[in-house]
A and B are shown apart, each in its own frame.
Chain A
Amino acid sequence: MNIQQYLLESFKKYKDDNALFTYNTYYTYNQLAELSYKLADTILSIKYIKQPVIIAGSRSLYTHAAICGALIAGSYYTPLNETFPVERNVNIIKLSNAKIIILDYTDFLCYEEVLNNLHDYHIICPVEQYDYLSEKFPNHTFYTAKKYNNKFLSVEKDDTAYLLFTSGSTGIPKGIKISHYNLSSYIQAFVKRNSVTNHDKIMQMNDLTFDLSIHSIFLSFLFGACLYVPDNSCKINPNKFIITNEITHILMVPSSLTIMRKLRLLKSNSFQSMKYIAFCGEALPFNNAVLMAEAAPNAKLENIYGPTEATIACTYFEFNKNTKELTEYTGSMPIGKAYDGMEVFLIDEDKNIINNSVGQIVLSGKQLAKGYINNEVQTKAKFIKIDNKDCYLTGDLGRYVNGALVFLGRNDAQVQIRGYRVEIYEIENAISKIENIVSNAVIPTPVNSITYENLTAFITVKDDNIDTYQIKSILSQTLPDYMVPNKYIILDNMPLNSNGKIDRNQLKNMIK
């Protein structure tokens, strides 16, 4: 089976059920299907081939139908992000080789600058935007979604479903194509463990450019659930949205959980409607996770882990309010074991498989992409064969504790300080245990050198009743001297990137 067939079947099956709630309006599967078919038909009438389609939108019915329409046409989609700099959006369009853009300008605020930076694209837009857009941008050709009676191109399992870009260290985004086989393997493994029905309400917390969005979108649309898309400001505090709409499923980054804790919202039994909660995207602080387990007494909770290269997530760890914290977890919730159809193992620096110590996390199996579309060097470095199996080197470190994999941070977070090998993550965990500290990040200094001398800790605190002297002396009790940061900078806010993770580059710039 592939996602195209799944979608077509689901659209036939769920008809009058709600498919989408966005901008305070409900839309049924019939409404979503009708627009998706027209968009698919229009894509194929522009060019009758399998091709990339750019999605310039964020939350509207039109945008979601565009995603479905691209897949139903047998094509694949690449989303833009209205919060990205114009240059990055333009870059993504060019790197994707797409010639077709589906645009809902009410849903994509920076459309003007993006379109002005392009020439000769085929742009499909809502009927009511057609006159305005075609007059304003004569250098592009505009279309509205119509019925042309094209036969949808049938999808083979290795055909691409979506193409996402992740930041490359050189500044040029790296493109990752995920196939229908990859994505359906993810979905199948997920629903084998967890249930999704047409009575469920799934909240979409993530931007379309972040692959966690794909989890929520397709678990909804393939199983008849309703996808709830909040507006951006609601992401600050999903509390009220969850309770008002009786959300049943959610996938969030641990930073969102930190915000909820700060706002004193993780109270026992406050999220009665929740049936499934997953965390993904960064290390999940153990104590916050347990607070959520108490706040959502009817929910099954999982910490899931995985890079975009291996389709959304590929390991899981189920926990509840009674899960015991072991010291070897170093303050975070384990990431557990591999999804069905995937294998996860650890290797040492010589790429030998190891079991009993810290090693790099390596992934293999059905969800693995084939490489980067535009970066042969990185593809060769990261997608390698081990024991004759196709593998992906994550660059993340892990270790097995009682059979559960524990995430220990990035490989490149391992540095030499004055000759000693230091895991930055271990220091950050030690700092996070100090009372009064809300979040922290440790940066080796001098920044951007090969040999480091010292460490600078950036911290945010609950109140000012703690000084850096105290922090240093507490750390000295548990860490060797060379691991105790010599400099402490108390920030009012930890800078975050667009995915909600701590932005280490910004922190480095503060030191310079």
Chain B
Amino acid sequence: MDSRNIKEIIFKIFAENNINIDNINEDDSLIAKGILDSMAFVNILLTIEEELDIEIDFENIDINSIVTIKNLCDIVSKMIQ
């Protein structure tokens, strides 16, 4: 799976949760921008884990650093490779 596919899957998960991220800058914090709240973001992360069959190491990954689309895609891509 290349990183473009991963991005597509992540975008699809946001869309399925009725969260529109089409016009968001990839470096914007989704929470600071008011796109979704913290509980919703956590649920998105859990869905991504499930769909891609990965387990994000929340103990060691600073969750605050993956709250942008770019960083979220990067970290997921790294985990898959």
| Chain A residues engaging chain B, CB cutoff 8 angstroms | 83, 231-237, 239-240, 255, 258-259, 262-265, 267, 270, 460, 463, 492-494, 496
Q: Write the chain B residue with the least CB distance to A243.
A: B59
- Cα A172 to Cα B68 with chains together (Å): 36
Interface flag for B42 (CB, 8 Å) = yes
Q: Would you call A236 and B47 a contact (CB within 8 A)?
A: no
Q: Write the chain B residue with the least CB distance to A462.
A: B46
Q: Would you call B38 and A259 a contact (CB within 8 A)?
A: yes
Q: Write the chain B residue with the least CB distance to A235.
A: B38
- A259-B38, A496-B37 known; A233 vs B58 contact (CB < 8 Å): no
- Cα A274 to Cα B17 with chains together (Å): 36
Chain B interface residue count, CB cutoff 8 Å, equals 25
Q: List 5 A-B contacts (CB under 8 A).
A: A233-B38, A237-B64, A239-B63, A263-B42, A263-B45
Instruction: Tell which of A255, A267, A492 has the most Cβ of chain B within 10 Å.
Output: A492
- Minimum C-beta distance from A441 to chain B (A): 13
- Minimum C-beta distance from A67 to chain B (A): 23
Q: Would you call A493 and B17 a contact (CB within 8 A)?
A: yes
Q: Write the chain A residue with the least CB distance to B59.
A: A265
Q: Write the chain B residue with the least CB distance to A264.
A: B58
Q: Write the chain A residue with the least CB distance to B50.
A: A463
- A496 interface neighbour in B39, B58, B59, Cβ under 8 Å: B39
Instruction: Tell which of B31, B46, B47, B63 has the most Cβ of chain A within 10 Å.
Output: B63
Q: For residue B36, which residues in chain A have a CB less than 8 angstroms away from its CB?
A: 493
- Cα A169 to Cα B39 with chains together (Å): 26
Interface flag for B11 (CB, 8 Å) = no
Q: Would you call A492 and B40 a contact (CB within 8 A)?
A: yes
Q: For residue B41, which residues in chain A have a CB less than 8 angstroms away from its CB?
A: 236
Q: Write the chain A residue with the least CB distance to B45.
A: A263
Interface flag for B53 (CB, 8 Å) = no
Interface flag for B73 (CB, 8 Å) = no
- Cα A255 to Cα B43 with chains together (Å): 13
- B39 interface neighbour in A233, A240, A255, Cβ under 8 Å: A255
Q: Would you call B40 and A263 a contact (CB within 8 A)?
A: no
Q: For residue B63, which residues in chain A have a CB less than 8 angstroms away from its CB?
A: 233, 236-237, 239-240, 263
Instruction: Tell which of B34, B38, B45, B47 has the most Cβ of chain A within 10 Å.
Output: B38
Query: Which 3 A-B pairs have CB atoms at the shortest separation, nearest pair first?
Result: A493-B40, A236-B38, A263-B58
Q: Write the chain A residue with the least CB distance to B30.
A: A233
- Cα A359 to Cα B54 with chains together (Å): 49
Q: Write the chain A residue with the least CB distance to B31.
A: A233
- Cα A494 to Cα B58 with chains together (Å): 21
Interface flag for B21 (CB, 8 Å) = no
